[in-house]
Structure 1
């Protein structure tokens, strides 16, 4: 009995109730999430009062009632570089958590060049040293730091892996038992994930983003000068190549027509969506790690039939492989498209929610 008491006292000393995580607690369940994209990323004002008022408790409660279990909160480090703004961020995380939602805190630096700038790499390290300490008092079961959103590091997976390893150490110094989200380079793509050597850390989740095919989901935003109205008519799934080609022929623009016919020729359908996701799932199984699709979404300008079918196909494919997902985003046209700043109780797009297998709040 004396030994048991000493052991319990030792555990209490090592893991006090003030915020250090229970090392034996299960990692947070991140099944169905929503990205809040603009609150701490493109705020209209950095004044603490205005910043804190971006989203109401009722709006957050509606997200939980709809069936979301976590929020991925995009944070520009420069927006919260002052103690007052950082306090607003911590208060916002607490408010989200009070609604029963886990919070993934994801840095989205706007103009940093981490691939080429040692100074920017130091800025990111300093950001995490400061923020990880600020996150320490929060509920560790519902607070998940993510190292970085969409690292680029083109053709340099080793460079990114080395930087991520260092940043993970920065986070671990203050949050030794937190679940941390890691990702591969190449904009957090599946290809970047497959090139990533896994960390020797049992309490991490590996994220990838999925917007394939970009010709459909972003209306080929990577190609300037196209006829977006024509591209928005593309079908999904492509179950009739001839009909898809006829849709392409309705564009008077040669470049647009060629791109649309290229899309049609690839025959995008559920099986083609599943193929890269299955490669990611196989990587996860091989390394005995959990995966998260931290972003996916499709432009609201895409025709509704194709958009809703794509959203349903991707979310269903991920769920069947036990991969959690987060829609991009709550306040973005690729997702629910809530206006910025949101109303006190925004109306959520019921067609999008239904496609995701969720129930819109009454």
Structure 2
């Protein structure tokens, strides 16, 4: 697709909206109920090698039944597009791996859990979308094919999410790409509910810059990990300073900030945590931040979900993590915003020790209001 054709499509979609929605009254209430409480199944069909053994045997039917018994209503299934996508023939889904995805969806649905199928690529894939119109066209063809395949499944239980954490640093460009994807998804799955997020890593700031599409059968999503100084302390990916943070408390407490500073040897990281100590992060500030998303949703009369939030567990004080999870979950539910914790058995896990001990962690369940 050349740039002129892409801009013509973006302009048309912005003015006319997305066609093909079967529900002009909005997302059915029973579907929003299904999006109320969830967890992300990371490192399975994304963030992991594409081996048949990994795709086939990472999780069991018993695990999904146990998740449903806690009161969870859905799971979010990150899907690296390259599991099924070939740029040479984007409208053809990989015939060898597609049955593995179908088997995973069957297992989830048989446990009476709904599922969000979302594209979860590596950063270089997203970077190409930000600049390459031909690649956007190829991915749109892929989405049309995948949505068509998934359209045979119950639209009350299967949701389709356009892309995980776009980070174009160019909201108008992302909005045009998003509309392109939503149009292709709607062509393939006329009855299913779609999920869309803003630029800026699906942040609240990115969300509030979006103009909702005319298609009313769309849920708008954001991710929430604020304050990152707390939730990502010790993380070795992303922002370089995260790996230097130690002992960062939640909520902010002056005495504990001083203790944290004594543990941090990087001068820049020390300064950032000193500044964090003046930020006032606690339940009230979390509520105020989420009010910004809720106000945007109310302004546009569209439903919201927060399908990623969590705390990296490596060095975080467990009681602080539980307090943050409880505060965020409570604030979301008070605003009638559905949620999905990141993640089930990774570094932020709902389990006791990732994949090493997959028994569900009782304190985390309690923080999430689950059994």
| Alignment TM-score > 0.5, same fold | yes
2:240 counterpart of 1:224: yes
CA distance in 1, matches of 2:248, 2:309: 18
Task: Give ranges in structure 2 of 5+ residues lacking alignment.
Answer: 1-20, 86-93
Question: Deviation at 1:158?
Answer: 1.2
Question: Deviation at 1:284?
Answer: 0.4
1:292 equivalent among 279, 302, 305 = 305
CA deviations on 1:201-236 (whole Å, 9 max, x unpaired) are 1111000000101111001755436764xx331211
CA distance in 2, matches of 1:194, 1:71: 25
2:329 counterpart of 1:325: no
Identify if the C-alpha distance between structure 1 residues 224 and 200 changes in structure 2 by more than 3 Å, giving closer, same or farther. same
Identify if the C-alpha distance between structure 1 residues 142 and 263 changes in structure 2 by more than 3 Å, giving closer, same or farther. same
Normalised to the residue count of structure 2, the TM-score between the two structures is: 0.84
Map 1:21-32 to 2 at 5 A: 26-28=29-31, 29=33, 30-32=35-37
> Which stretch of structure 1 is more off in the superposition, 311-320 or 85-94?
85-94
8 Å CA contact 1:133, 1:175 repeated in 2: yes
2:117 counterpart of 1:105: yes
1:167 equivalent among 171, 181, 199 = 181
> Which stretch of structure 1 is more off in the superposition, 84-93 or 101-110?
84-93
CA distance in 2, matches of 1:326, 1:39: 16
Aligned residue pair count:
333
CA distance in 1, matches of 2:24, 2:77: 25
2:96 equivalent among 67, 75, 84 = 84
Task: Report what 2:171 is aligned to.
Answer: 157
Question: Deviation at 1:250?
Answer: 4.6
- Give the alignment's Cα RMSD to 1 decimal: 2.3
Identify if the C-alpha distance between structure 1 residues 223 and 105 changes in structure 2 by more than 3 Å, giving closer, same or farther. closer
CA distance in 2, matches of 1:287, 1:105: 25
Task: Report what 2:279 is aligned to.
Answer: 266
8 Å CA contact 1:330, 1:338 repeated in 2: no
Task: Report what 1:241 is aligned to.
Answer: 254
Map 1:1-362 to 2 at 5 A: 26-28=29-31, 29=33, 30-47=35-52, 50-81=54-85, 82-110=94-122, 111-112=124-125, 113=127, 114-154=129-169, 156-219=170-233, 221=235, 222-224=238-240, 228=244, 231-238=245-252, 240-301=253-314, 302-336=316-350, 342=355, 346-359=358-371
CA deviations on 1:20-59 (whole Å, 9 max, x unpaired) are 9899954512111000011101344432x65222211001
CA deviations on 1:242-277 (whole Å, 9 max, x unpaired) are 442343245444333222211111121111111121
CA distance in 2, matches of 1:86, 1:291: 30
Task: Give ranges in structure 1 of 5+ residues lacking alignment.
Answer: 1-19
> Which stretch of structure 1 is more off in the superposition, 248-257 or 33-42?
248-257
Normalised to the residue count of structure 1, the TM-score between the two structures is: 0.86
Question: Deviation at 1:305?
Answer: 1.7
Identify if the C-alpha distance between structure 1 residues 224 and 22 changes in structure 2 by more than 3 Å, giving closer, same or farther. closer
Question: Deviation at 1:72?
Answer: 0.5
Determine helix, strand or coil for the equivalent of 1:186: helix
Identify if the C-alpha distance between structure 1 residues 315 and 350 changes in structure 2 by more than 3 Å, giving closer, same or farther. same
Question: Deviation at 1:326?
Answer: 0.5
Identify if the C-alpha distance between structure 1 residues 226 and 354 changes in structure 2 by more than 3 Å, giving closer, same or farther. closer
Larger radius of gyration: 1
